[in-house]
């Protein structure tokens, strides 16, 4: 039996539940690899640059589930394979432009491609919506101001390689 009502998804460390038609809550029930305050700050930072990352709404505590909760916009993904390659080319171009703006502002997502030992699809954190490609889950994202130039550049190098792989996947599937 599922302990969490309205479970939408779950990753390696957290579960996401539906709160309403417009909001979901990422639950923090124990020590995880990311801290709720840090994730909220990174999400707010990315939201201040552009609309690529899911919108942060608030932090709250869910008494029923005994869990801290990061509340964010609910995103309804659609299957990109239903669209012509020309549309996908446009979406990937906008995605790369928006991601580049985040990078220039000092934000790197760090979870474009999931590690092979984590269950789920390789690009679970990139969703196609009616507004184009969007990113979710900024738990391990990094801000240049927090990690410094050297680490940020290393993360950026890895992310740029993953974006090239994603583009190939997205356009040729």
Please give the average per-residue pLDDT across 64-79, as a whole number. 94
Asked if residues 128 and 165 have their Cβ atoms less than 8 Å apart, the reply is no
Q: Are 162 and 109 in contact (CB under 8 A)?
A: no
Instruction: pLDDT band for 3, please (50, 70, 90 cuts).
Output: confident
Instruction: Please classify residue 157 by burial: count the beta carbons closer than 10 Å to its beta carbon, then call 0-12 exposed, 13-18 middle and 19+ buried.
Output: exposed
**Residue pLDDT, tens place only, 120-160:** 678 989 999 999 999 999 989 999 999 999 999 999 999 99
What's the pLDDT at 35?
Answer: 87
Q: Where are the domains of the chain?
A: 7-73, 80-172
What CATH number is given for 80-172 in this structure?
A: 1.10.510.10
Tell me whether residue 160 is exposed, middle or buried, using C-beta atoms within 10 angstroms of its C-beta: 0 to 12, 13 to 18, 19 or more.
middle
- How would residue 116 be classed by pLDDT, with cut points 50, 70 and 90? low
Q: How far is CA 145 from the centre of its chain?
A: 20
The architecture in CATH of the region 7-73 reads: 2-Layer Sandwich (3.30)
The pLDDT tens digits of the residues spanning 11-58 come to 777 899 999 999 999 999 876 556 899 999 999 999 999 999 999 999
Closest by CA position to 72, among listed 122, 139, 143 = 139
> What does DSSP say about strands 132-135 and 126-129: parallel, antiparallel, or unpaired?
antiparallel
Q: Tell me: the pLDDT tens digits for 83-92?
A: 999 999 999 9
Please say if the pLDDT value at position 1 is more than 60.
no
Q: Look at residues 22, 19, 31 and name the one whose alpha carbon lies nearest to residue 60.
A: 19
């Amino acid at each position: 039996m599922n302990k969490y009502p309205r479970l939408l998804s779950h990753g390696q460390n957290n579960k996401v539940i539906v709160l309403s038609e417009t909001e979901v809550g990422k639950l923090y029930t124990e020590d995880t690899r990311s801290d709720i305050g840090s994730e909220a700050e990174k999400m707010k930072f990315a939201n201040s640059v552009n609309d690529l990352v899911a919108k942060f709404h608030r932090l709250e505590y869910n008494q029923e589930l005994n869990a801290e909760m990061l509340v964010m916009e609910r995103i309804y993904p659609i299957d990109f394979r239903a669209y012509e390659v020309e549309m996908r080319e446009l979406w990937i171009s906008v995605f790369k432009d928006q991601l580049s703006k985040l990078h220039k502002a000092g934000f790197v997502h760090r979870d474009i491609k999931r590690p092979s030992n984590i269950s789920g699809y390789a690009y679970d954190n990139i969703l196609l919506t009616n507004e184009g490609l969007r990113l979710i889950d900024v738990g391990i994202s990094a801000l240049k101001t927090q990690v410094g130039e050297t680490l940020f550049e290393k993360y950026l190098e890895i992310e740029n390689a993953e974006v090239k792989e994603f583009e190939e996947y997205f356009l040729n599937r």
